[in-house]
Amino acid sequence: MDRFTGYITGFGTASGTRCVVGHWLDSPFGPFTDVMVEHRDGGRTLLAPNRTVADYVSATYRFDRVVTAPIEAALDSGGSGVSGVSGASGGLRLRLAGGPLDLTAELGAVTPLGRLLELVPARLAVHPRWLAAINPVAGLLVRGVATAGSAGGGRREFYGVRSIRTVERVEASWAGRSLGPLAPVEPPVRFGFSSVPRRPQAVAVTTTILPAPDRAGG
């Protein structure tokens, strides 16, 4: 079982570019940040900090291009770090520079749904059986979103969201060209079995990937 704990921030821009930033504090590869980008023409780019992460992520999701480059990223509230992200009412800032992407995203307060999710016991909120059970409901609450699905190669993937914040403002550029102001994630991104919500959001999440069943061993 591979488990990734951190934050996913999804947003669109006026240029038609849509970005999904994974800022992982704990993972099988240690802390790292990666970005999945779907461009206006539908091309999908993975920006990864090294080849090990790039190989793992590109085996799990679908991309047309993979870029490896050092990525510097921080999620904080004026230098106070990520403590208090869940349940805090103040805003946060996500800053990222890596490869062709420069990004600053201003995050708002925890949403009403996010506060409800914070009430779910932590062990239950990230358990694969629970996430498989609530998967049909997730798509009804937030269009295009799923909590359980395929990770490729017979593996299964589960998203356990612990809290949700809005994304209030974005300044981003790709290869030195501005991507324009914040916009909905429209059309939905097509990297894996689930899109991020249409409304730009940042979520505290634990992602679990289970290996394929050992058919040889029964």
> Residue 91: its pLDDT value, please?
76
Q: Which of 13-22, 70-79, 123-132, 172-181 has the lowest mean pLDDT?
A: 70-79
CA–chain centroid gap for 65, Å, is: 18
CA–chain centroid gap for 69, Å, is: 19
Q: What is the helix (H) or strand (E) element at residue 60, kind and residue range?
A: helix 51-60
Taking the C-alpha atoms of residue 115 and residue 88, their distance in angstroms, rounded to an integer, is: 10
> Residue 78: its pLDDT value, please?
53
Contacts of 217 (CB under 8 A, 6+ apart): none
Q: How confident is the model at residue 194 (pLDDT cuts 50, 70, 90)?
A: confident
Q: What is the helix (H) or strand (E) element at residue 35, kind and residue range?
A: strand 32-38
Quickly tell me which residue has 């992982």 as its tokens.
Answer: 24
User: Of the segments 38-52, 144-158, 182-196, which one has the largest average pLDDT value?
Assistant: 38-52
Phi, psi at residue 94, to the nearest 5°?
-105, 120
> Residue 90: its pLDDT value, please?
62
Q: What residues pair up with 214 in beta bridges, in sequence order?
A: none
